[in-house]
Amino acid sequence: MSLWMTWSDINKKLEDRPLVYWGAGNRMQKTRRYVSREPEFCVDNNPYEQGTTEKGVVVCSHQKLWGDRTGGRKPFVVITTTGYMDVRAQLLEMYFVEGDDFCVSPVLKDFSILDRMATHKARILFTCSDPYNEKDKRGGLYVMNIPSGKFEQLRGGHCHGLALAPLDNLVLINDTAGGIEVLDSLQYERQALIRLPDDARPHGVAVENDWIAVCYSGRDEIVQFCDGMKGRFHTVDNLSRKMEYTGLPEHHVNDCAISDGRLYVSMFSYSGNWKRGIFDGVILERGLWEDPKFRPVMQGLSLPHTPRVIDGVLHFCESMEGRLYKGTEVLATFNGFIRGVDFDGEFYYVGQSQHRHITRRLGASNISLDTGIFMLDPVTKCTRFYPTPGLTDINAVMVSP
């Protein structure tokens, strides 16, 4: 923003213009060290400061800016108070132009990050797989408003996967409803229901064009539907033949994503031994049409979830370790069990569930038991946490369309 300038840019502005600070105190004195010109005076809104002198600088009312044009030249104002947004409004009312006639001192740059995260607006959808019955109705599809942090339940049910579908519809895995609910993204009313087998334990869901892929955690299968909105069956991928012999799912396939005709799948164990303490988690990939089998693209992960292609780059959560990956880069590390991620072009939103694997994390710096949504600035790595009291398990996170 033009409100923020470098020291070099400020000094160029001052080559032929007088300087005025707005905001007496320590931050003005810090700013003076980096600025090439001494100020004509300082403005401060505090009437008790006005009329005083601070290290040779006279402190005045803002009214002095109306009448003072030293040598006929409009002064350049450097704001040196944390209330810089209020001062900005005053300067604009006085016909000072942001970037041309004033800026905020770079010593206050950290406050810009705080303001940006505190005022950013977004609507975040997330799913919860907490119990949903006559006594306890916590599970379902929720929406959270940022920055207030207020959230509400949109639909009840034992819910896992969530994805955007054609025509701005949503697809929601809702065990209570019996399968995949197709919802409109305005009123969240059901448009269709794709029934799934009772023993499938569907978790992740992904959509591209007319294709829907669903992870059957209860069967170690990836099921794909063509003409997906009508639930027409296409193919089943068995991750191995282990279930034929044991009668139990061994890989815990949990989530998936489709991008440009490529299907990505996360699971707890590539070898199918996670129940035996072998946590060789993996992200797999294959083409929807031409590839007969999956290939690993990331291995050696501890309870991975949520493969998502964001701006052309594969992202995923290594839930046990609290790591959010962007490609092979660890974008951020959290102290809880993370699952669910999306990006609105400026900030990431990452879901965190109550940790249920505490003994496996003993020795960590600390273990967070909180449930909620993190807002992450990918540049500074600053986070802001929005708790969801009363809930324990967040699965999918999506910026509302």
**Given this model, what pLDDT does residue 209 score?**
85
Burial label, 58 (beta-carbon count in 10 A; 0-12, 13-18, 19+): middle
How far apart are the C-alpha atoms of 40 and 390, rounded to whole Å? 57
Query: Please, which residues have CB within 8 angstroms of residue 277's CB and are 6 or more apart in sequence?
Result: none
Residue 152 in tokens: 């509400």
What are the extents of the domains in the chain? Answer: 7-118, 122-399
Q: Are 52 and 46 in contact (CB under 8 A)?
A: no
Residue 77 bridge partners (DSSP): 20, 102
| Three-state helix/strand/coil letters over 266-280 | EECCCCCCHHHCCCC
For 160-215, write each residue's pLDDT tens digit: 999 999 888 999 999 999 999 999 988 999 999 999 999 999 999 999 888 899 99
Q: Are 164 and 175 in contact (CB under 8 A)?
A: no
How far apart are the C-alpha atoms of 360 and 320, rounded to whole Å? 9
**Given this model, what pLDDT does residue 129 score?**
96
How far apart are the C-alpha atoms of 22 and 42, rounded to whole Å? 6
Least Cα distance to 21 among 108, 118, 125, 104 occurs for 104
Tokens 């132009």 correspond to what residue?
Answer: 97
Identical fold at 7-118 and 122-399? Answer: no
Least Cα distance to 302 among 276, 270, 280 occurs for 280
How far apart are the C-alpha atoms of 303 and 305, rounded to whole Å? 7
Q: For the chain, which ranges sit under pLDDT 50? A: none
Query: Please, which residues have CB within 8 angstroms of residue 349's CB and are 6 or more apart in sequence?
Result: 122, 124, 341, 342, 343, 373, 374, 375, 376, 397, 399
Taking every pair of C-alpha atoms in the chain, what is the biggest distance, in angstroms? 91
Pick the CATH number of 122-399 from 2.120.10.30, 2.60.40.10, 1.10.730.10, 3.40.50.10140: 2.120.10.30
**Topology of the domain comprising 7-118:** Rossmann fold (3.40.50)
Least Cα distance to 218 among 245, 266, 177, 253 occurs for 253
pTM of the model: 0.85
**Given this model, what pLDDT does residue 134 score?**
83
**Given this model, what pLDDT does residue 25 score?**
93
